């Protein structure tokens, strides 16, 4: 897709101010700290909140990494990867999740019925299910949508707009890739990061987030080679078409058998 857009995330520039987290909440009208209702807390680190949740679509993940020669405090901006081959889109029975324009995996909250398949099939476990009632199953999913209301109108996402360190950028994916590759080379050659690498170019049909990392992917707890779930392929591409053929075949077979039987069965012989 030539007009695919992507987010550039340079972890070497990120200073973990978490302005992106705040801007995301502000633009998308997500809840932050509400005294007595929604507390935030640190968990042995400056990480806060401790994980993505239905009201937190992006956050900075903190990791400590020692390669034997020196120590690095790693900051990784987490959120939906907007995969080229997105399992969440394929398993969503309501089409609330779709491949939108420019490769953005869009989400329409109104259409979501809360089945939660997206949260269970995402290789990165990004979509967060807000369970309103466990017994009735009432729930809503949520995830980063690259500020689809901004980006589909020519603006950049709120997090990119607010980043004071220029660790984030937004633009054509090919341009972003070129920028990221150049930055990785510069980090290796000039800035003393021999393990610098690029993440997101080819994984899962190419990610919508292009990361410049200064340490191996494992140090960020990122899957080295995230795989599209095999069960999703079997379920969507094999089981569902087969099921529909079986149902249609059974109905057609029964109707045909009925008309043949009606001609052949002599009711006077039926007990």
Partner 1 sequence: MSVRLRGSDSSISIRWIPKYTTLERVLHWVHTASFVPLALTGFVLFAPWLSSVAQSAAGVHIRLIHRIAAIFFGGVPIVYTLLQPRRMWMNLKEFLTFDKYDLLWLKGAIPYYVFGRHGDMPPQPRFNTGERLTAVVMVLGTMVFGVTGLTMWFLKGIMPTWLFQLMVFFHDLMFIVTFAMFMIHFYLAVVHPMMWQSLVSMRYGVVSESYAREHHAMWYYGEERAKKLWEEHKAAAEKH
The minimum distance between CB 77 and partner 1, in angstroms, equals 23
CA nearest neighbour of 213 among 9, 46, 20, 5 = 9
Report the residue from 57, 107, 121, 146 that binds partner 1 according to the rule CB under 8 A: 121
The minimum distance between CB 143 and partner 1, in angstroms, equals 15
Q: Are 99 and 105 in contact (CB under 8 A)?
A: yes
239 binds partner 1 (CB under 8 A): yes
134 binds partner 1 (CB under 8 A): yes
> Nearer to partner 1 by C-beta: 110 or 224?
110
CA neighbours within 13 Å on the CB side: how many for 24? Answer: 26
Q: Are 129 and 30 in contact (CB under 8 A)?
A: no
225 binds partner 1 (CB under 8 A): no
Report the residue from 35, 36, 44, 93 that binds partner 1 according to the rule CB under 8 A: 93
Cα–Cα distances in angstroms (integers) from residue 224 to residues 23, 75, 173, in the given order = 29, 17, 21
The minimum distance between CB 235 and partner 1, in angstroms, equals 5
CA nearest neighbour of 97 among 71, 121, 75 = 121
Kindly write out the interface string for residues 48-87 of this chain, putting x where it contacts partner 1 by CB under 8 A and - elsewhere.
----------------------------------------
Report the residue from 34, 165, 189, 231 that binds partner 1 according to the rule CB under 8 A: 231
DSSP state of 102: G
Number of Cβ atoms within 10 Å of the Cβ of 89 = 19
List binders of partner 1 among 97-116 (CB under 8 A): 110-116
Q: Are 65 and 215 in contact (CB under 8 A)?
A: yes
The minimum distance between CB 132 and partner 1, in angstroms, equals 10
List binders of partner 1 among 1-20 (CB under 8 A): none
Report the residue from 48, 72, 119, 197 that binds partner 1 according to the rule CB under 8 A: 119
The minimum distance between CB 89 and partner 1, in angstroms, equals 12
**Contact positions vs partner 1 (CB under 8 A):** 93-96, 110-117, 119-121, 125, 129, 131, 134-138, 229, 231-232, 234-235, 239-240, 242-244, 246-247, 250-251, 254, 257-258, 260-262, 264-267, 269-271
């Amino acid at each position: 897709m030539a007009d695919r857009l992507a987010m550039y995330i340079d972890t070497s520039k990120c200073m973990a101010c978490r302005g992106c987290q705040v801007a995301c909440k502000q633009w998308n009208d997500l809840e932050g700290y509400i005294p007595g209702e929604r507390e935030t807390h640190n968990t042995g680190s400056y990480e806060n909140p401790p994980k993505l949740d239905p009201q937190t679509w992006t956050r900075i993940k903190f990791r400590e990494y020692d390669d034997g020669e020196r120590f690095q405090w790693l900051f990784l901006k987490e959120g939906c990867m907007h995969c080229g081959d997105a399992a969440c889109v394929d398993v969503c029975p309501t089409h609330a999740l779709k491949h939108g324009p420019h490769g953005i995996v869009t989400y329409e909250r109104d259409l979501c019925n809360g089945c939660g398949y997206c949260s269970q099939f995402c290789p990165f476990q990004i979509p967060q299910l807000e369970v309103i009632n466990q017994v009735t199953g009432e729930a809503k999913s949520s995830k980063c949508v690259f500020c689809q209301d901004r980006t589909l109108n020519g603006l950049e996402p709120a997090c990119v707009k607010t980043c004071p360190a220029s660790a984030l950028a937004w633009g054509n994916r090919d341009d972003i890739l070129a920028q990221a590759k150049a930055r990785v080379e510069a980090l290796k050659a000039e800035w003393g990061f021999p393990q610098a690498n690029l993440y997101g170019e080819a994984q899962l049909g190419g990610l919508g987030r292009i990361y410049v990392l200064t340490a191996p992917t494992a140090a960020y707890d990122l899957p080295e080679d995230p795989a599209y779930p095999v069960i999703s392929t079997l379920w969507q591409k094999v089981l569902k078409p087969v099921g529909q053929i079986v149902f249609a075949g059974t109905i057609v077979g029964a109707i045909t058998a009925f008309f043949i039987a009606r001609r052949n069965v002599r009711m006077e012989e039926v007990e």
